[in-house]
Structure 1
Amino acid sequence: MSSPPPHNGRPLSDNDRATPKLDHTGKETVGKENDPRFDAGNKHQDHYTRRLPAWRNAIRKSMIPIVRWETPYLAYMQEKIRTPTLDSYFAYTANLGTHTFFMIFLPILFWCGYTSTGRAMVHVLAAGVFASGFLKDMVCLPRPLSPPLARITMSGSVALEYGFPSSHSTNAVSVVVYFVHALRQSRDEYNPTVYLALQGLCYFYAISIIFGRLYCGMHGFLDVVVGSILGAIIGILQLMYGQSFDNYIFSTDYTHVLFIVLIMLVLVRIHPEPADDCPCFDDTVSFLAVVIGINAGAWHYHLSGYAWNEPVPSTTPFEFESMGLLPTTIRIVLGVVVIFLWRAGTKPALFKILPPIFRFLERASLNLPRAFFLNASKYTSIPTMRDDDNVIPPASNLPNMLKNLAHPRKRSVSVGPQSAADAYETLAYRNRRRRESINSADGIVPEVAQFDHNNKTLSSSAKLEEKPLGVGFLPTPIASRVHSHEQMMGTGDSTTRLVLTPPDSDADFAGEAVQTPAEAENEKREIFRKLMIPRVRYDVEVVTKLIVYAGIAWLAVEGNPILFELVGLGMGVRP
C-alpha cells in the first residue's frame, strides 16, 4: 500500500497526516494540545492538489461543478416533497441497501440450501463495493452540500464517505438485475399474478433505494445514475460468467483457489489512497475477504463429504419439509451466534498478536504503509473501539440499534457538512451565495448558478427563490445534528476521537474573495470544528479485517453447515 504523494518535494509529515499525539500508553490524547495543525503556520496552499496525483485532481475539478449545479435542484425537491412519514420510510429502507443488511442475511441463503444464489450475491456485492469504493477514493467527490440539504440517515459514519458513485444504487441494481433474470428463467413455476408481483417488488426495491438516496440528501443525480449503471454492468457480468467462475473454483485443483486469493489481495493493494480519511477502503477489504472465505471454504466443503453436490457443488444439505420450522429457526440463530462470537473473539486477539509483528516488519522496511492508518511503531496498545466496523456491528451495539429503530426520523436528521470534502464545498457554496447577494444588491437578479470546467459562473434560465443559506429549504424543524455512530447509538467513546483543524486554502473552488482574511479564517475554523472526525485507524486493522471476514465467510459456507450436522440440526449427512 503506497504512501500518499509528497508535496513540495518532501514526504508528508505527521502533521500532514493528522497523526494524533500519544501518551506513554500509546493512547491518543484529546484536546487542544492534540491539534497541531491549528497553527496557521502549518497550513498548505491546496489540500487536494497536494494530496492527489495531477490526473486525479484534474478529474475531480472537472466534476465539482456538477455537484454544485445539482445542489439547488435537490434542495428544491426536498423542500417540496419532504414529510415526516417519508423521512421515516426512506430512513428505514436505506438500511436494505447497506453492506450490513446483506452481510447478515447472506449466510442464511447458504444454510437454507440456496447456495447458487448466495454465491452470486456475494460476488455481485463484493464487485459493487470494490468498484464504487475504488471510484469514490479515486475521484474524492463530496456528497451534495448540507446545508441547504438536510441529511437523512441512520448511520452517521456514512457521511465520512465520498458521494460519487452511490454504492446503495450499485448494490440495489446489481441484486435486482440478478433476481429479475432468475424470475424470468423460472417463470413457469409461478402463478402469473405472483410472477408479476415479484417482478414489481424487485423494481420497486431498486427505485425506492435509488430515489431515497436523492430524497435523503445523501447523493446527487450523477451519483445514483453512475452507481445504477455500475450495478447493471456487474449484474450482467455475473449472469454471463458466474457459472464459468464457479466451474473454475470447483475443480479439484487447489491452485485455482490460491489464484483467486492472490487476485483479491492485489485488489486490496491497488485501492487508491483518498485525499481525506474516507472509510471506503475498510468496506473494500471486508468484502474482498468475504470472497476469499466463500470460495476457499466452498471448495473444501464440496470435497469434505458433508455437502451435497446437487443442484450445485458445495450445497448445504437442507429440506424444510423434512426439518420443520423450529429446527430451521434454531440452526439459523445458532449460525448467527457463532459468527458474532467469532468476530467478538478474533478481533481483540489479533489486535494483541499483530502489532509486534507489524513493528518488526516496519523496522525491516517491509511494511506497506497507508495514509490515515497509524503505524504500529507509534502506538503501544489499541483501545477498545465501538465504531470500528461499517459492515457488521459488534453484538453489544445491537440492542441500542434495535431500540433506535422505533424513532427513525428522530435519529436520522443531520444538517451541515460532515466530512472534510463536504466542508471545502460548503465554503465554496457560501462564497458563491455571497457573490450572488452582492450582485443582487447591485441590481443583478441572481439565478441558479452553473459552472463550466474552469469554475466560472454561467447564467441559467432555471431560477429558485433566493433565500439565506439553510433557511426555507426545510419544511419541518431541524433536529439536532447526529455526527457519529456513537452519538446515534448512545455509545460514544471520547478516547478514540481526534480534533480536526481547519484545512488549507480552498482557493481553487471558493472563487473570488468576498470576506476579509480574518473572517474567512474564522468561518473555516467554525465549520471544521463541527465535522464528524474519523476515529484513529491502526495499520493492523487491514490484516485483521481480512482474517475476520474471511473467517465469517468460511463459517457461512463450511464451518456452520458441518456444525449443524454434528449437533443434530442437519440432514444426517456424514462423510
Structure 2
Amino acid sequence: MTSRLHTSNSSDDSDGGNTDSCKSEDQNVFVHAPIDNLGVPGRWLRHKLLDGILVGSPVLTTIQKYRTPTRTSVMKMISFLGTEDFYTVLFLLLSWGLDARLGRLFGILMGIGFYFAGVLKASLRLPRPEWPYIKPEEKAYDWALPSHHSLLGTILPWYIWVYITVHFNFTPTQLPVMFVLIALWSFSVMFSRLYLGVHSPADIVSGGIIGVIVLSMWVQLDDIVDSFISEQSFEAVLQTVLLMVVLLYLHPKCDPGNPSYTDNCCLAGVVTGLIAARNQRSRLLGFPSLKETLPADTSLTVFVSLIITRLFVGAVVIFVVRTIMKMITLHLTKIAFRMLGLRYYNSSAYMEAGLTMFKHYTKNFKLTPIEMKKASDKEDIDDCSSSDGSYSAPLIECKYFYSDAIKISNDKEICYTTDSWDLVVPTKCIVYFLLTYFALEIVPQLFIYLGI
C-alpha cells in the first residue's frame, strides 16, 4: 500500500496565498526532526530508536493473531483508562469527592506528563508500527515514541499509590488490594496499546522509563509545589503564566492536525487555572472534598450516592459552560487574527477532515541520513535543499500533506500554509484555564448551595 507520507503538488488558499511547493507523491523525501539539528549524534540516536521500534514488529504480529471482536472491545475500554478524558474525570473525582490536595497535585502532574511526552514525540518524530503488517484498531494522529499512555500510565496511577500510602490509613488487608488494582490499571493500559497496534514495545518501554524518572522527581517536589501554589500572592499566578508561555514557546512545532501541541495547550490552561483557583481563593484551605467534610460515620451508600450526584451535576454544568466558552473564545480569536492581519487555520477541523499525516511506518518512510550529503550528490535531494549548496533535509512542516488538502482549500479554516496561525492554540489555552478555575472555584460553591 502506498504511504501517505507524501507531498501535494501545489495549492492556493482563499486569500490568494500559496503553500510551499512540493514534489509528486512518488518522490521519496526524508522525514526531518528537530533532534536532527544536533548533528550526527542526534541523527544516530533517531536511527537507533527507529531500529528499536521495528524490531518489535514480530511481537505485534503475534498479538494480532489473537484478536477477536470481544477482546478488541475490551482493550479499547482499557485504553480509555489512559486517555486525557478519563484522567480529567478522575481529576475532578479526586478534587470534588476524595482528597482536594491529591486532586490538585494529580492535575499538575498530569500536565507535566503530557508536556514531556509531547515534547519528546515532536522532537524525535518517529513512526508507529509498520503498515500494513500491523493493522491498527484505532486512529492515531501524533508520533509514536514515547507512548503517552505508557508515560501517564506510570506516573499517575503510581503517584496515587505513593500518596495514599503516606496520607491514608489502610489496613494490612486493604493495602495489597489497592496495590493490585493500581498495578492492573497501569500495566493493562500499556498492554492495550500493543494489542491495538498503535505502539511498539519500544514506545511502551521508553514511556515507562521516562515515567519512572518523572515520578521519582515529582515525589520529591510535590510538597514544595503545593506550598508554593498555596501562597495567596498574585506573583505566584503571574510566574505560572509566564512559565507556561515559555514552555509552549519551547515546544517543537508539529505538523498540521497533530494533537500533541494543542493537547499541551489544554494542559497548560488546566495547570494555570488550577493554580489560580488554589492561590486566589478567599479561604486558605479552599474547598475541601466531600470525604473531608462528611462525618466519619457516614455510610458508604450515602457517600457513593453523593459522589455520583456531584459528578453528574458538575459534568452537566461544565459541559454547558465549556460549549459557551469555546464558541465565544473561538469567535473572538478569529476577530483578533483578522484585525492583526494574520492568516489562520483550525487544526481540529483539519484533523476531522482526515488531512493529518499518516504516522505509521512504511517503506517510503526515510530518516535524515546520519552522514549528511552535499548538494552535488543529487540522489534523494529535493527542492527543499538549502541555497548555499549544502544538504538540508526537507522540513516536515512543508511536506507530506494529503493531496486532498488542496481540493478543499476554499475552506479557510482547513487550508494550512506555513505562515498560518492555529486558531485552536489560544482558544484552548484560554478555555481550559477558565474552565478549570470554574470547576475548582465556582462548582464547589454550587455543590454547597444544592446541599450535595
- Select which of 136, 145, 152 maps to 1:171: 152
Give per-residue Cα distances to partners, 1:80-101, cap 9 Å, x unaligned: x433332222111000000111
CA distance in 1, matches of 2:240, 2:347: 34
Q: Which residue number corresponds to residue 279 of structure 2?
A: 299
Q: In the superposition, relative to structure 1, how do residues 66 and 385 fare at CA in structure 2: closer, same or farther (>3 Å)?
A: closer
- Select which of 87, 91, 94 maps to 2:72: 87
Letter in 1 for 2:232: T
The answer to whether the Cα contact below 8 Å between 1:174 and 1:232 also exists between their aligned partners in 2 is yes
Q: 1:49: Cα distance to partner?
A: 4.1
Give per-residue Cα distances to partners, 1:321-364, cap 9 Å, x unaligned: 57866555443322212211121111121222122322344x5x
Secondary structure of the equivalent of 1:185?
helix
Report 1:218-233 matches (<5 A). 218-233=198-213
Q: Which residue number corresponds to residue 209 of structure 1?
A: 189
CA distance in 2, matches of 1:549, 1:149: 36
Which deviates more from structure 2 when the two are superposed, residues 264-273 or residues 70-79? 70-79
Q: Which residue number corresponds to residue 288 of structure 2?
A: 315
The structure with more radius of gyration: 1
Secondary structure of the equivalent of 1:341?
helix
CA distance in 1, matches of 2:277, 2:9: 40
- Select which of 253, 257, 266 maps to 2:237: 257
Secondary structure of the equivalent of 2:130?
coil
- Select which of 97, 102, 105 maps to 1:112: 97
The answer to whether the Cα contact below 8 Å between 2:146 and 2:204 also exists between their aligned partners in 1 is yes
**Aligned-residue identity in percent:** 24
Q: In the superposition, relative to structure 1, how do residues 349 and 108 fare at CA in structure 2: closer, same or farther (>3 Å)?
A: same
Give per-residue Cα distances to partners, 1:93-135, cap 9 Å, x unaligned: 0000001111133122212251111112112211111000100
The answer to whether the Cα contact below 8 Å between 1:177 and 1:236 also exists between their aligned partners in 2 is no
Q: Which residue number corresponds to residue 63 of structure 1?
A: 49
Secondary structure of the equivalent of 2:92?
helix
- Select which of 140, 144, 147 maps to 2:125: 140
Q: Which residue number corresponds to residue 78 of structure 1?
A: 64
Give per-residue Cα distances to partners, 1:519-564, cap 9 Å, x unaligned: xxxxxxxx96799x99667623211101111112112211211233
The answer to whether the Cα contact below 8 Å between 1:291 and 1:550 also exists between their aligned partners in 2 is yes
The answer to whether the Cα contact below 8 Å between 2:337 and 2:344 also exists between their aligned partners in 1 is no
Report 1:246-395 matches (<5 A). 246-274=226-254, 277-301=257-281, 304-305=282-283, 309=285, 314-316=287-289, 319-321=293-295, 328-361=307-340, 363=341, 376-377=342-343
Q: In the superposition, relative to structure 1, how do residues 65 and 324 fare at CA in structure 2: closer, same or farther (>3 Å)?
A: closer
Q: In the superposition, relative to structure 1, how do residues 249 and 20 fare at CA in structure 2: closer, same or farther (>3 Å)?
A: farther
Q: Which residue number corresponds to residue 54 of structure 1?
A: 37
Q: In the superposition, relative to structure 1, how do residues 536 and 282 fare at CA in structure 2: closer, same or farther (>3 Å)?
A: farther
Give the alignment's Cα RMSD to 1 decimal: 4.0
Letter in 2 for 1:547: I
CA distance in 1, matches of 2:331, 2:31: 36
CA distance in 2, matches of 1:239, 1:541: 33
Q: Which residue number corresponds to residue 427 of structure 1?
A: 363
Q: In the superposition, relative to structure 1, how do residues 314 and 185 fare at CA in structure 2: closer, same or farther (>3 Å)?
A: same
The answer to whether the Cα contact below 8 Å between 1:183 and 1:199 also exists between their aligned partners in 2 is no
Which aligned runs of 4 or more in structure 1 are off by greater than 6 angstroms? 15-20, 34-39, 42-45, 505-508, 527-531
Q: In the superposition, relative to structure 1, how do residues 71 and 530 fare at CA in structure 2: closer, same or farther (>3 Å)?
A: farther
Secondary structure of the equivalent of 1:282?
helix
CA distance in 1, matches of 2:186, 2:255: 31
The answer to whether the Cα contact below 8 Å between 1:298 and 1:314 also exists between their aligned partners in 2 is no
State the aligned residue count: 399
- Select which of 427, 432, 435 maps to 1:549: 432
Q: 1:568: Cα distance to partner?
A: 3.1
Matched, 1:185 2:166: yes
Secondary structure of the equivalent of 2:253?
coil
CA distance in 2, matches of 1:217, 1:45: 25
Secondary structure of the equivalent of 2:450?
coil
Q: Which residue number corresponds to residue 564 of structure 1?
A: 447
Q: In the superposition, relative to structure 1, how do residues 179 and 350 fare at CA in structure 2: closer, same or farther (>3 Å)?
A: closer
Q: Which residue number corresponds to residue 174 of structure 2?
A: 194
Q: In the superposition, relative to structure 1, how do residues 507 and 84 fare at CA in structure 2: closer, same or farther (>3 Å)?
A: farther
CA distance in 2, matches of 1:276, 1:129: 19
The answer to whether the Cα contact below 8 Å between 1:276 and 1:420 also exists between their aligned partners in 2 is no
- Give 5+ residue unaligned stretches, structure 2: 1-5, 372-378, 383-400
Q: 1:507: Cα distance to partner?
A: 8.7
CA distance in 2, matches of 1:329, 1:347: 26
CA distance in 1, matches of 2:104, 2:9: 40
CA distance in 1, matches of 2:252, 2:110: 19
The answer to whether the Cα contact below 8 Å between 1:138 and 1:274 also exists between their aligned partners in 2 is no
Letter in 1 for 2:60: L
Q: In the superposition, relative to structure 1, how do residues 131 and 324 fare at CA in structure 2: closer, same or farther (>3 Å)?
A: closer
Secondary structure of the equivalent of 1:352?
helix
Letter in 2 for 1:548: V
The answer to whether the Cα contact below 8 Å between 1:137 and 1:278 also exists between their aligned partners in 2 is no
Secondary structure of the equivalent of 1:427?
coil
Report 1:414-453 matches (<5 A). 419-422=357-360, 425-428=361-364
- After TM superposition, the score normalised by the length of structure 2 is 0.76
Secondary structure of the equivalent of 2:262?
helix
Q: 1:286: Cα distance to partner?
A: 0.6
Give per-residue Cα distances to partners, 1:223-253, cap 9 Å, x unaligned: 1111011222222222111111111111232
Q: Which residue number corresponds to residue 150 of structure 1?
A: 135
Q: 1:38: Cα distance to partner?
A: 8.2
- After TM superposition, the score normalised by the length of structure 1 is 0.61
